[in-house]
């Protein structure tokens, strides 16, 4: 790995603080295993340098934002994995039980469908195109599920800070 | 394509496809080293051009979702860090 990609300790610590703050604000918990969380935070920063966005450290990025949009951290799969397995795929985010040590962490299988096999329905679970009339479209944040009715999606999701390109037209 | 070699006891052919940034891949590497096994590994995220394509094809052959770590022990494929399965496959 080339040296330029390596974030220094201060950067990693600052970044973890930011992640912790955002997690707290959003009602999420970070993995309390410090060494583990550090490793993941470092991986995220390396990916940010390498690709220009915080691509998931435990997944292979293709280095095209559009194709990696779903795995920019926090990824589209964090919430369903937290609900089903008590942790995101990397286990950077864990359920409250696990954060408190009341439950063991177990491996989370990959739910991501490879890009070439993905359809719109895999993301939204609904296809009602053309069947209803609305005065403004409804946009859905693909990271946290926030919905808003307006002409265009917001620049940043007011709930989870996901960028505009990570919204889909929901209705 | 070239693999990195880690020396140790010969426990059959062990190949690990990993990502350099992935914590579960690191756990898998550490486990193999703790068990003293000889193995080959590749950091697929660091490969370029043809090597990368070849590696991805190899991973997909065993594990169509192309997730990491993908560990091949003999003819057995273990996807993800599964300590128990890895130990069983290595008969420890
Ligand atoms: S939320 Fe977890 S699984 Fe998703 S990108 Fe971030 S670290 Fe990876």
Mean pLDDT of A33-40: 96
Q: In b/e form, how buried is each residue of A42-71, taking b as 16+ CB within 10 angstroms?
A: bbbbbbbebbebbbbbbbbbeeeeeebbbb
Q: How remote is the CA of residue A87 from the centroid of ligand 1, in Å? A: 9
- Within a domain: residue A116? no
Q: So what's the ipTM on this one? A: 0.94
Give the domain CATH number at A89: 3.90.460.10
- Within a domain: residue A129? no
Q: Interhelix angle for A9-26 vs A34-51, to 10°?
A: 100
Q: Which residues contact B6 (CB under 8 A, 6 or more apart)?
A: B29, B32, B33, B38, B39, B40, B41
Evaluated on CA atoms B52, B54, B59, B60, the torsion sign reads: positive
Same domain, A36 and A80: yes
Q: What is the pLDDT of residues A113-129, one digit of tens each?
A: 887 787 766 655 556 66
Residue A90: CB atoms within 10 A of its CB come to: 26
Q: How remote is the CA of residue A88 from the centroid of ligand 1, in Å? A: 6
Joined tokens for residue A96: 């409250």
Q: How far is CA A125 from the centre of its chain?
A: 18
Task: Give me the number of domains chain A comprises.
Answer: 2
Q: How buried is A83 (Cβ within 10 angstroms: 0-12 exposed, 13-18 middle, 19+ buried)?
A: exposed
pLDDT band with cut points at 50, 70 and 90 for residue B27: very high
* Interchain CB contact of B44 with A (< 8 Å): yes
Give the domain CATH number at B26: 3.40.30.10
pLDDT band with cut points at 50, 70 and 90 for residue B64: very high
Mean pLDDT of B8-27: 97
Determine the structural domain holding residue A162 and report its residue range: 138-169
* Interchain CB contact of B30 with A (< 8 Å): no
Q: Which residue is associated with the tokens 């095209």? A: A64
pTM for this entry = 0.90
Residues in chain B, how many? Answer: 92
Residue whose Cα lies nearest atom 8 of ligand 1: it is A56
Verify whether ligand 1 is closer than 6 Å to residue A73 (CB atom).
yes
Helix/strand/coil for B12: coil
């Amino acid at each position: 790995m080339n040296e330029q990609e390596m974030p220094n300790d201060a950067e990693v610590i600052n970044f973890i603080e930011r992640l912790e703050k955002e997690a707290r604000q959003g009602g999420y918990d970070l993995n309390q295993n410090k060494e583990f969380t550090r490793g993941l935070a470092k991986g995220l920063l390396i990916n940010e340098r390498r690709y220009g966005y915080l691509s998931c450290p435990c997944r292979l990025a293709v280095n095209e934002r559009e194709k990696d949009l779903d795995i920019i951290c926090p990824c589209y799969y964090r919430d369903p994995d937290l609900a089903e397995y008590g942790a995101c795929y990397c286990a950077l985010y864990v359920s409250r039980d696990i954060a408190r040590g009341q439950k063991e962490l177990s491996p989370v299988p990959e739910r991501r469908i490879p890009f070439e096999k993905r359809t719109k329905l895999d993301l939204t679970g609904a296809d009602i195109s053309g069947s209803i009339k609305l005065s403004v479209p409804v946009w859905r944040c693909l990271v946290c599920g926030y919905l808003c009715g307006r002409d265009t999606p917001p620049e940043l999701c007011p709930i989870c800070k996901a960028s505009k390109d990570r919204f889909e037209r929901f209705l | 394509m070239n693999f990195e070699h880690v020396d140790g006891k010969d426990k059959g052919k062990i190949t690990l496809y990993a990502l350099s940034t992935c914590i579960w891949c690191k756990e898998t590497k550490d486990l193999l080293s703790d068990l003293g096994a000889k193995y080959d590994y590749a950091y697929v995220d660091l490969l370029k051009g043809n090597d990368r394509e070849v590696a991805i094809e190899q991973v997909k052959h065993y594990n169509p979702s192309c997730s990491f770590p993908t560990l091949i022990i003999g003819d057995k494929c273990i996807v993800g860090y599964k300590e128990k399965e890895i130990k069983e496959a290595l008969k420890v």
